Chains A and B, each alone.
Chain A
């Protein structure tokens, strides 16, 4: 492996062992993240099982076009970051930096589209408050999950954008090759956030069509 160009940290004696420990550590963290989202998905599944018609009616009010565009954006960002990660492991920091920039742009675009969708949702009174537009009581539960899950996901996206910005900062200073483990860690985190979105999309945007 080309981790040989990475900066070695204590207590590791080889870049390969250091990469192995980093990957394992990041996966441990990602497993805890999965459990966080799994709790929300479980709550959603139980309520959807108990109130299928209200969830179907509420689901028809979610904008499928925005959701589909955002899913395509995230999957494309996964492509660019995957290429960036493989490029830095093949000692191609220039290509890797381009991949990180594209991912950063697509991630920002995702949040902009999400913001436009939120604005439309608020205009249509889909916030489950006093002026909520739908009549079925369980529709409030659906939109409670909609706002919570998409907002928590957006928070993770924002953290991911922060990590990508750090990679850009390292690349601008010519230190990306020495920090290729950081590229790998950021890549794993970003892909997991994308996987969670694929499940959020299936649960919230495709119901009731």
Chain B
């Protein structure tokens, strides 16, 4: 590895520590949200915070922000198939009479 490549690489500590702080903050936020009287908005709020945690872990810890397009395509396609599965299943459940 050349000296230039070394300086271009991200630091060992900064990214992971910032991500970890964000994850613990989001965890605290999710627990607080769960105790609030949000009614029907509670579940979407909890899931949105969990999704944010997943995005932080995927981008920083799993380094999708620096991955090749092939790897990103593989990760995105997994969520695409899962989304289709949920949409098709709930298209039945929500429209049943």
Contacts and interface: CB of A to CB of B under 8 A. Distances in A.
A22 to B, nearest CB: 10
Interface residues of A, number: 51
A76 interface: yes
A77 to B, nearest CB: 10
B57 A86 contact: no
Contact of B61 (A38, A191, A202): A191
A192 B16 contact: no
A78 interface: yes
A46 interface: yes
Contacts of B24: 72, 75
Contact of A46 (B16, B20, B89): B89
Interface stretch (A26-34, A104-112, A122-130, A133-141): A26-34
Interface string A1-44: 11010000000000000001001100110110011001100100
A206 B43 CA distance: 9
A69 to B, nearest CB: 10
B46 A206 contact: yes
A35 B78 CA distance: 7
A95 interface: yes
B47 A42 contact: no
A157 to B, nearest CB: 15
